[in-house]
Amino acid sequence: MGAMIDPRAVGQWPVHGRFGGRRLVRRRFVRRRFRRPAVSIVGGIVLATASWVALAPAALAHGPDALLAPAMSDLLVDWAFDPLVTLPLLLVGAAYLWAVRRVDRAHPGNPVPGSRVVAFVAGLAAIEVALQSIIDRYDTTLFSVHMVQHMLLTLMAPPLLALGAPITLALRVARPEVRRRVILPILHSRLLRFLSFPVVAWLLFASVMWGTHFSPIFNESLEQPLVHQLEHLAYLAAGLLFWWPVVGVDPSPWRVPHPLRAMYLFLQMPQNTFLALAIYSAAAPLYPHYAAIHLPWGPDPLVDQQIAGGLMWIVGDIVFIVAIVLTVLGWMHAEERETVGRERREDAQIAAIRAREAALADRLAADRLAEERAGDERIGGP
């Protein structure tokens, strides 16, 4: 079905013929309805990208404050509020809440669960904390702080955003025309099917983690703000692709059964541990940028590197263990729902069989009664 047409607007368009006029009205309506927003969206993306590339070095420079010892008050008040980060997060959050409100109004009997809203907002907040709080101020000064930032972008924000089910929300709030022409073609595209394939997503996540920590990319990101920002995008994108099939709330080109989800997570945990131990056990600082920084108030570069590796090891294992436990619990809950549904279907089938048996018994009893009456009439006849 096409999008609904406002009768008042139709009256202003020339209509010729019974069927040709309807096609003309629909074509003009679709062009007018979707062309301007599409142009605005594409223009906004191009402008934002150009601004981001042009302003990234100035906006992301930490300055000499990154070498000063932090005060306790800085933990609460030291926020950057870079518009290149904060504004997109605010726009995404506002769009999500607007969509939730619209779906709740249209479907009061099936509203968006509040847990999804909380999870999605918490995921956006995790990105804001990682990129705009005091963490961003010291991420190029202390490797341990940088590691906290990476864990927020790979292990915290992506699963929370996936729990918010943004794809499901977009499908529910979008008009049929948008679903058919925009959202569904993207979900069914070959590129997304390839990237979201669980094996590819698993390997991509591991490759991004190992490739950035044990290559010149990491040290380059500490020296070049633009490379640093691209690294953040890579972490977030790889994290979203990795956690998407595990959470399993949104529709995906690939549906992963619960047992495979648990194995998927379990196999990712040792590689995270090996990477953390490789960082922790290094005999010398891995990155010249951190090795050249000696803070009178901070740890030695090698000790700071060991702290970073320890954080990655402990926090990463905790996150994966919790995710595995939740996946197993979800598996048990799904099995319970399936069992209850199967029992209900069996009860319905048994009830239908008993109803047919009762109907057959009633019909046989009625036939016997009719035969008895017929016999009595023959006996009592002349």
Q: For residue 292, tell me if it sits in a domain.
A: yes
Q: Is 270 domain-assigned?
A: yes
Q: At what angle do helices 301-379 and 258-280 cross, to 10 degrees?
A: 170
Along the 382 residues of the chain, how does pLDDT read in single tens digits? 334 334 333 333 333 444 444 444 444 444 444 444 444 444 444 444 444 444 444 334 455 556 666 666 666 777 888 888 889 999 999 999 999 999 999 999 999 999 999 999 999 999 999 999 889 888 889 999 999 999 999 999 999 999 999 999 999 999 999 999 999 999 889 999 999 999 999 999 999 999 999 999 999 999 898 999 999 999 999 999 999 999 988 888 888 889 999 999 999 999 999 999 999 999 999 999 999 988 888 889 999 999 999 999 999 999 999 999 999 998 888 778 777 777 778 778 888 888 888 888 888 888 787 777 776 666 665 5
C-alpha torsion angle, residues 45, 51, 54, 60 (rounded to 10):
-100
Q: Are 251 and 217 in contact (CB under 8 A)?
A: no
DSSP state, 284?
S
Burial class (CB in 10 A: 0-12, 13-18, 19+), 352: exposed
Q: Residue 362 is inside which H or E element, if any?
A: helix 301-379
**In terms of domains, do 93 and 136 share one?**
yes
Looking at the fold, whether 174 and 257 belong to one and the same domain comes out as yes
Question: Quick check: is 299 in a domain?
Answer: yes
> Would you say 245 and 196 are in contact if contact means Cβ atoms under 8 Å apart?
yes
Asked if residue 352 belongs to a domain, the reply is no
Question: DSSP letter at 165?
Answer: -
In this structure, the answer to whether residues 24 and 114 fall within a common structural domain is no
Asked if residue 190 and residue 330 are part of one domain, the reply reads yes
Residue 261: which of 281, 242, 237, 283 has the closest Cα? 242
In a domain, 328, yes or no: yes
Residues 36 and 115 in one domain: no
How far is 186 from 347, CA to CA, in rounded Å? 42
Q: Are 342 and 265 in contact (CB under 8 A)?
A: no
Task: Quote the pLDDT of residue 294.
Answer: 86
Domain membership of residue 39 (yes or no) is: yes
Q: Are residues 178 and 33 in the same domain?
A: no
> Is this structure's pTM higher than 0.75?
no
163 shares a domain with 37: no
**202 contacts: CB under 8 Å, gap ≥ 6:** 242, 264, 267, 268
Domain assignment present for 379: no
State the pLDDT at residue 380: 61
Domain span at residue 136? 61-344
Q: What is the CA radius of gyration of the chain?
A: 31
Q: Are residues 100 and 173 in the same domain?
A: yes
The confidence score (pLDDT) of residue 16 equals 40
Model pLDDT, residue 79 = 81
- Residue 88 and residue 82: Cα distance in Å, rounded? 10
Q: Do 36 and 168 share a structural domain?
A: no
Q: Give the separation between CA 241 and CA 245, rounded to whole angstroms.
A: 8
Residue where a domain stops, chosen among 312, 327, 344: 344
Amino acid at 287: Y
Give me the number of domains the chain comprises: 2
Task: Report the length, in residues, of the chain.
Answer: 382
Q: Does 99 map to a domain?
A: yes
Q: Tell the burial category of 311 from Cβ atoms under 10 Å away from its Cβ (0-12, 13-18, 19+).
A: buried
Q: Are residues 103 and 34 in the same domain?
A: no
Considering the domain architecture, whether residues 161 and 258 belong to the same structural domain is answered as yes
Q: In terms of domains, do 128 and 167 share one?
A: yes
Q: Residue 68 has which token pair?
A: 């000063």
d(CA 4, CA 381): 76
Cβ–Cβ under 8 Å, residues 309 and 280:
yes
Torsions phi, psi for 188 (to 5 deg): -95, 5
Which residue is associated with the tokens 């509020």? Answer: 81
pLDDT value of position 10:
35
Query: Which of 37, 60, 83 marks a domain boundary?
Result: 60
| DSSP SS3 for 112 | coil
